[in-house]
Structure formats: C-alpha cells, structure tokens
Amino acid sequence: MLKMQLAWLALHPDLQNDFLNHELDLEAASLRPNRPLVKLCRRLMQNGLRVAVVSDMYLDALALRRLLLHHGLDDFCQIVYVSAEFGVSKASGHLFSLVAEREATPFSAIVHVGDNFRADYLMPRRKGIGAVWLPRAISWRFYNSLWNLALRIKHVYLKGL
C-alpha cells in the first residue's frame, strides 16, 4: 500500500522506510492497548493456552509486532496474523479459515475475543468459532464514530472537486 501511495505522490521509492517509520511512530503514539483484553489473554497464556493476535490491519505482521513491543506486549508477538499480508479479513470470515488451517486447529477449538461486533463476534460464530465481544469504552466508540464521520465528509468534499 505504501508503495502505491509513494507512486501516486510521485515520490521516490527509497522513501518507503522513512514513511513507514513515521507511520509506525504515529500509530504507536495514538494506539492504546485494550487492558481488559490484555489481562484476559495473559491469564489464558499462563494456563497453557496458545494466544494468537489476529488483526484486520493495513500494516504487516512485522509492523504490528513493533507496535506490540512499543506497548510492552512482547508476549503477544509469537503468533500474529494480519489481513494485509494475506488479502483476507476477519470481516469476511476468511482470515479465521486461514488461521485455523495454519494452526491445524478446528473451528470448534478456537475462541476469538475482540471489540468489533461484526468482525470479532458475528463472523467467527458463523464459522463455528466461539466468540466473545469485548466492546471498547464509550469514549473510544464516540471518538471513532466522529473520526469515521469526518473521513466520510472529507471523502464527499474531495469527490466534489
């Protein structure tokens, strides 16, 4: 994705690493771990269960690991699946199939926990995966809704130019 953006802006491809590092710095500064989810996953790992990070994200697993490390979540870096690397998503349900196949684990033996009602709760349940919806705080959801509205307005505005 970054290569396409650089090409679109007519910038030299050698700038890719600089842009990626800047993007990761911005992400690290703005992201906050979901503490209840982190606590739950750590308890599961202490009891001998495997925990994988499965994310619908535009960055690759290496970048996501870097963000996890930044927030002191080193223990979550072992098993990471990111939609951007595979071209499939949690929202479509296909990333769950890929994870189950690669981990050689039947759907019935997987429990997925996440904060997106559709991608993290409805889709895995349709596949026969146990799912727990752990919604974010209302303040985060409010901010996210405003952000998405602003992006839509910006898109409409730019579309009309």
pLDDT in tens, the chain (161 residues): 667 666 777 777 777 778 778 888 888 888 888 888 899 889 989 999 999 999 998 889 999 999 999 999 989 889 999 999 999 999 999 999 999 999 999 999 999 998 899 999 999 999 999 999 988 776 666 666 777 677 667 655 555 54
- Domain parsing of the chain, residue ranges: 1-30, 33-136
* Superfamily of domain covering 33-136: HAD superfamily/HAD-like (3.40.50.1000)
- Helices 16-30 and 61-70 cross at an angle (nearest 10°) of 40
Cα 68-73-79 angle, rounded to 5 deg: 75
Q: What are the φ/ψ torsions at residue 159 (nearest 5 degrees)?
A: -65, -30
| Global pTM value | 0.74
